[in-house]
Amino acid sequence: MWGYRTRDVARLLGVTEAQVRAWVRAGLVKGRRGRRGELCFGFQDLVLLRAAAGLAAARLPARRLRRALSRLREQLPEGHALASVAIHADGDRVVVSDGRSRWQPDSGQALFDFEVREVASRVAPLSRRPSADLDAAGWYAWGRDLEDGAPERAREAYRHALRLDPSHAAAHLNLGRLLHEAGDAAAAEGEYRRALEARPRDPIALFNLGVALGDQGRLEEAVEAYCGALEADPAMVDAHHNAARLCERLGRRDAAFRHLRAVRRLAVPPAGPG
């Protein structure tokens, strides 16, 4: 079975199963249906439901709660997981922050302050292996859902996906990133290279390969990987920046200067019509 059942969610959040179902009816989360028709929820659903429980405990009116949280996903910056933000009260406003920016999904009175990141550690013990008949895409989706709260289990899920489909480039890429974050640059390098076997000109895989090679002290190879990423995506500022730094260390100052000039050019927006 995929995900967490309604009773698991209710026990975790300290609410009733009826309240969880009410939030589903209100459209805060959709969940999925299991084989027997039971509702199941993914990790990001749990994060949003945890926010709903916190707001409800602060006696935020139900209509305001639904409005604030239904807009939260729309207002979250692209690429940010819900577990990466903090939700708190600022006077009579609900404010969301990710460490760099703060925004208000909706107005409302609330008296709480919690990090939704805490859900990651709390839901991990509830995670269980999905049914063995998942295909590679299903294991990949399961891995993505577990990354914030259970990275070891996410790695396991990606490995399941790759046993079923060794050419699944995204699974190789994500597994490599998790291995890299865990400090194993050599293992990450292998996954990035296998991702590139499936997608030879993938700029993200090439960029990540450059970082892994650089972390192993293989600077020339790292520069080559960054240059490959730039051939695939000439506007990748971080690749220019990293290549410039390594070229400087290698004594290739002309090349470093070219990359730095590209960084400056790409960082300055084109002038509008005069």
DSSP-based three-state secondary structure for 82: helix
Least confident of 72-81, 138-147, 187-196, 248-257: 72-81
Average pLDDT, stretch 186-196? 97
CA distance 75 to 60: 20
Question: Would residue 251 count as lying in a domain?
Answer: no
* Closest by CA position to 210, among listed 169, 176, 261, 182: 176
Question: Would residue 113 count as lying in a domain?
Answer: yes
Kindly report, residue by residue over 51-104, the tens digit of the pLDDT. Answer: 777 666 666 666 666 666 666 655 554 444 555 556 654 444 555 554 445 555
Quick one: pLDDT at residue 111? Answer: 26
pTM (predicted TM-score): 0.58
CA terminus-to-terminus distance, the chain: 61
Average pLDDT, stretch 119-127? 51
Q: Give me the domain span that covers residue 77.
A: 4-123
DSSP-based three-state secondary structure for 114: strand
DSSP 109: -
Question: Would residue 81 count as lying in a domain?
Answer: yes
Question: Would residue 63 count as lying in a domain?
Answer: yes
Question: Would residue 254 count as lying in a domain?
Answer: no
Q: How many domains does the chain have?
A: 1
Question: Would residue 145 count as lying in a domain?
Answer: no
Least confident of 61-65, 221-225, 232-236: 61-65
Question: Would residue 10 count as lying in a domain?
Answer: yes
> 164 or 237: which carries more pLDDT confidence?
164
Question: Would residue 261 count as lying in a domain?
Answer: no
Quick one: pLDDT at residue 71? Answer: 64
CA angle, 52 then 53 then 59, to 5°: 90
CATH of the domain at 37: 1.10.1660.10
